[in-house]
Structure 1
Amino acid sequence: MIKRIPPGYISCLANCFNTWLKEYRYPNVWKLAKIITVNKLKAEVPRCDQTRPISLLATHSKLFEKIMLERIRHWAETNSLVSIEQSGFRPGCLLSTRVLSIYQEVKNNMTANIPTLAIYVDYQKAYDKVWHKGLIVKLNRLSIPLGLLNLIVSWLNDRRAYVIFGENKSEIFYTYVGLPQGSSLSPYLCVVYHCDRVACVGAHSSHIFADDLNILISPPIS
């Protein structure tokens, strides 16, 4: 859709983007999410856990978020904040790469006749449970540039949503916990939010893809 709009409109949009970046401001009109609930089990009156929410955001907001993402990613990767064990939502990192790393490590241990214990951890609703103020404090402690921090604060503040189920529509409500679903920024910010997870593993081997953690434990070779 963006490719089909007139060049003059694109130029105007670019000017708006540059202004918002200079002012470290995220437009309030883009902070409203339309959440459509899909009945997973085809039940006549489903429970909340039997529905799948789909969050719809403004199309232009995703373009602006990609610009923000490039700046956040450059800061985080340049300062080596995200561990090399993390393969989720990073350029050049794939799930298959992480799976092969796990396979190779286990295979090497089997060749050396070393037993290996594997622990798999899946953080339930990792995006939905990110605390907004906690994320800001975490980014500040990681020494993110102040301008970029202010832009993220503006992006998070006053987030609103409304839910549609069939022909029913809820009132608009504010969200104070959880990263916006459907946003280009949310996955990588979640990765940065949990960037110190590897340190909790200690000396054991760890492999991470987004919010899925694998820990391999092997006894020391005598």
Structure 2
Amino acid sequence: MSKLKPGKSPGRDNIHPEFVIHQSTTTSGWLCAFYTSCYQRLKLPKTWRRASVIALPKPNKPAEDPKSYRPISLLCVPFKILERMVHSRIEPVVDSQLPREQAGFRRGRSTADQVTLLCQDIEDSFQDNEKAGVVYLDLTAAYDTVWHRGLHLKLLRTIPDRHMVKFIMETLSNRSFILQTSSGQCSRLRRLKNGVPQGSVLSPMLFNVYIHDLPDTASRKYGYADDLAIMLNRPTWKAMEEGLNEDMGTLVVYLRRWRLQLSVGKSVAAAYHLSTREARRELEVRVDNKCLEVQQAPKYLGVRLDRTLSFKQHLEEVKAKRNTAPQSGAEALMRERSTWLSIPPSEY
């Protein structure tokens, strides 16, 4: 309860965080007893299963396109507290089962760790005079397409407490939502058969469990939740392309087996080499006989990684933001600089 932040929007029950924050000790005891009963009986109030969904616009996307919005679920505050309690119970167990290459929403890990690790591996290939290729994978609506039966199976393999697994699956079952617009209009009630809700504290951890068993590949993997990249370095471009294509085939089979969808149109490939001429090579990485788009400076976890890792384009974008908004842009530039100067050495 102490982690609740005042001013947050309530769920369908219209209970605001302030009500729970300032409640009496007696009321807290009643709430804890109710949580215990829910857990033991594997039952939840119907209101907790219903969410109000608001659509937040993605930056630099056309407003008329429905895909330009990110849905956020407004859950009932008492239910969010219960989810935090479950999260604190299973976090140590789940974290010990996750692979090291997955850094998303884990204690002591950040996006900077993954970007630094990827850059270091590319730099190592430069030192060895090898060719490096990276594929940045884009999963279509990753959280919304999590297959519940598949998640149940993987939770059973990860968490020894079977009753806890049943309770987690109970929190995901019979979910529904109402889409709410900024003008106050609401849609009809819609049922959810799959997926983990955006806005839930449990969702990132559950998604980590869902993809924690990615198949072994020759390429190194760098994951942060649903942001996944694979990197391979070889003495020749041909050997590297063949390796990337083989690994992509392995990953595509895995994703389809677990009903996740790879967006071929949004996934991109990039070549890296100290020689600008060499790095201009158009990699041929195919998925379903379609070549992935090749970009010279793709963005990974908010950082532009150009083909020689000069970061020129990334810094130009940061400067452009500073020019459009002097104060906030300057702060962003300082944060960018401090991030790259203060990252501790990676354990990898």
Q: Same-fold call, TM > 0.5?
A: yes
Change in CA separation of 1:10 and 1:143 when aligned onto 2, cut-off 3 Å? closer
Change in CA separation of 1:216 and 1:135 when aligned onto 2, cut-off 3 Å? same
Does the aligned pair in 1 maintain the 2:90–2:159 contact within 8 Å? no
* 1:28-177 alignment runs, 5 A limit: 28-37=46-55, 46-77=64-95, 80-142=96-158, 144-165=160-181, 166-177=183-194
In 1, Cα distance between equivalents of 2:81 and 2:159: 26
In 2, Cα distance between equivalents of 1:51 and 1:110: 39
Change in CA separation of 1:163 and 1:87 when aligned onto 2, cut-off 3 Å? same
The alignment covers a number of residue pairs equal to 215
Does the aligned pair in 1 maintain the 2:93–2:159 contact within 8 Å? no
Change in CA separation of 1:98 and 1:38 when aligned onto 2, cut-off 3 Å? closer
Look up the equivalent residue of 2:165 and give its one-letter code: L
In 2, Cα distance between equivalents of 1:33 and 1:73: 24
Look up the equivalent residue of 2:168 and give its one-letter code: I
Quick one: which of 39, 42, 46 aligns to 1:21?
39
Q: Which residue in 2 is equivalent to 1:12?
A: 30
Q: Which residue in 1 is equivalent to 2:285?
A: none
1:172-214 alpha-carbon deviations (Å, 9 max, x no partner): 22110211121111111011101112x24x1221111111111
Change in CA separation of 1:7 and 1:192 when aligned onto 2, cut-off 3 Å? same
1:96-154 alpha-carbon deviations (Å, 9 max, x no partner): 11111112111122122222111111212110111122211232344642111110121
Determine what percentage of the aligned residue pairs are the same residue. Answer: 29
1:179 and 2:199 correspond? no
Look up the equivalent residue of 1:32 and give its one-letter code: R
Change in CA separation of 1:42 and 1:115 when aligned onto 2, cut-off 3 Å? closer
Quick one: which of 167, 175, 196 aligns to 2:213?
196
Structure 1, unpaired ranges of 5+: none
202-211 vs 185-194, which deviates more?
202-211
| TM-score where L is the length of structure 1 | 0.86
1:94 positional shift: 1.0
Bigger radius of gyration among the two: 2
Change in CA separation of 1:13 and 1:95 when aligned onto 2, cut-off 3 Å? same
In 1, Cα distance between equivalents of 2:184 and 2:220: 51
In 2, Cα distance between equivalents of 1:204 and 1:51: 33
Name the Cα RMSD after superposition: 2.3
| TM-score where L is the length of structure 2 | 0.57
Does the aligned pair in 2 maintain the 1:85–1:208 contact within 8 Å? yes
Structure 2, unpaired ranges of 5+: 1-17, 237-348
Change in CA separation of 1:163 and 1:11 when aligned onto 2, cut-off 3 Å? same
138-147 vs 167-176, which deviates more?
138-147
58-67 vs 139-148, which deviates more?
139-148
In 2, Cα distance between equivalents of 1:218 and 1:39: 38
Look up the equivalent residue of 1:66 and give its one-letter code: R
